[in-house]
């Protein structure tokens, strides 16, 4: 589960976070996700943050659910963006074959490494057969807090691919990049990977 200090940071920083991440149109990754799932499909924004991405999914004609462990992020998703958002931890995902796609964009990196196999299995169970997963994580090793107090778990591409295969996913695409200081709440350069897979 996400540690309380990390959740407290997001509860206190929702306005700043909205200014940092919100946009009016999907970026390349979100547009690819929208284009890949079936038209009018049902999707989950897992760790939705303020709700902007889920709102764009809705605008594109998808039926979007959203969850986040932060009460204030859920409030933002509901009240500012009109999203069907629920406060929930990753380990509370308990639906079966409901979703055509799950968007987990830089959210699962806040869970301990020991919980990733179970989290991926729950996601697989929640997806319909052939459902689509988008997963964004920071690249590296170990677990540590950033200077804002948020706890992160870092992964290497081969490690993540192996975890996906064990959870019965079929890895699809992967790419790497670096978040620059203008898009990082902590003002740091953070290497990352974007991985997609099918259930």
CB 24 within 8 A of CB 60: no
Check pLDDT > 80 for residue 183.
Answer: no
Domain boundaries, the chain: 4-198
What is the pLDDT, as a whole number, of residue 178?
A: 83
Check pLDDT > 60 for residue 181.
Answer: no
Check pLDDT > 90 for residue 58.
Answer: yes
**In Å, how far from its chain's centre is CA 177?**
16
Which residues lie below 8 Å from residue 47, measured CB to CB, with a gap of 6+? 67, 68, 69, 90, 104, 105, 106, 107, 108, 110
Residue pLDDT, tens place only, 78-90: 999 999 999 999 9
Check pLDDT > 90 for residue 19.
Answer: no
Classify domain 4-198 at the CATH topology level. Answer: Rossmann fold (3.40.50)
What is the pLDDT, as a whole number, of residue 177?
A: 86
- Tokens of residue 82, six digits: 């009109």
Confidence label for 168 from pLDDT (cuts 50, 70 and 90) = very high
- Tokens of residue 153, six digits: 């778990």
β-pair partners for 151? 145
What is the pLDDT, as a whole number, of residue 173?
A: 95
Confidence label for 182 from pLDDT (cuts 50, 70 and 90) = very low
Confidence label for 57 from pLDDT (cuts 50, 70 and 90) = very high
**In Å, how far from its chain's centre is CA 26?**
15
What is the pLDDT, as a whole number, of residue 164?
A: 98
More confident residue, 73 or 178: 73
* Separation of alpha carbons 101 and 33, rounded Å: 8
Confidence label for 139 from pLDDT (cuts 50, 70 and 90) = very high
What is the pLDDT, as a whole number, of residue 143?
A: 95
* Separation of alpha carbons 196 and 186, rounded Å: 26
The secondary structure of the chain in percent helix, strand, coil, rounded to multiples of 5, reads 40, 30, 30
Cα angle 15, 17, 20 (rounded to 5 degrees) comes to 115
Check pLDDT > 60 for residue 72.
Answer: yes
CB 57 within 8 A of CB 34: yes
Which residues lie below 8 Å from residue 38, measured CB to CB, with a gap of 6+? 100
């Amino acid at each position: 589960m996400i540690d309380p200090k990390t959740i407290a940071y997001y509860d206190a920083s929702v306005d700043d976070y909205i200014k940092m991440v919100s946009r009016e149109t999907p970026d390349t990754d979100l547009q690819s996700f929208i284009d890949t799932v079936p038209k009018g499909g049902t999707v989950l924004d897992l760790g939705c943050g303020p709700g902007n991405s889920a709102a764009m999914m809705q605008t594109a004609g998808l039926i979007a659910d959203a969850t986040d462990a932060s009460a204030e992020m859920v409030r933002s998703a509901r009240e500012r963006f009109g999203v069907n958002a629920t406060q929930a931890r990753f380990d509370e995902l308990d639906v079966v074959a409901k979703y055509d796609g799950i968007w987990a964009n830089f959210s699962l990196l806040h869970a301990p490494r020991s919980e990733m196999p179970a989290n991926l299995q729950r996601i697989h169970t929640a997806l319909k057969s052939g459902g689509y997963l988008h997963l964004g994580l920071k690249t590296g090793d170990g677990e540590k807090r950033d200077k804002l107090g948020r706890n992160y778990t870092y992964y290497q591409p081969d490690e993540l691919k192996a975890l996906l295969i064990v959870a019965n996913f079929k890895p699809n695409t992967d790419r790497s990049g670096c978040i620059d200081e203008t898009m990082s709440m902590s003002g740091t350069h953070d290497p990352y990977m974007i991985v997609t897979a099918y259930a």
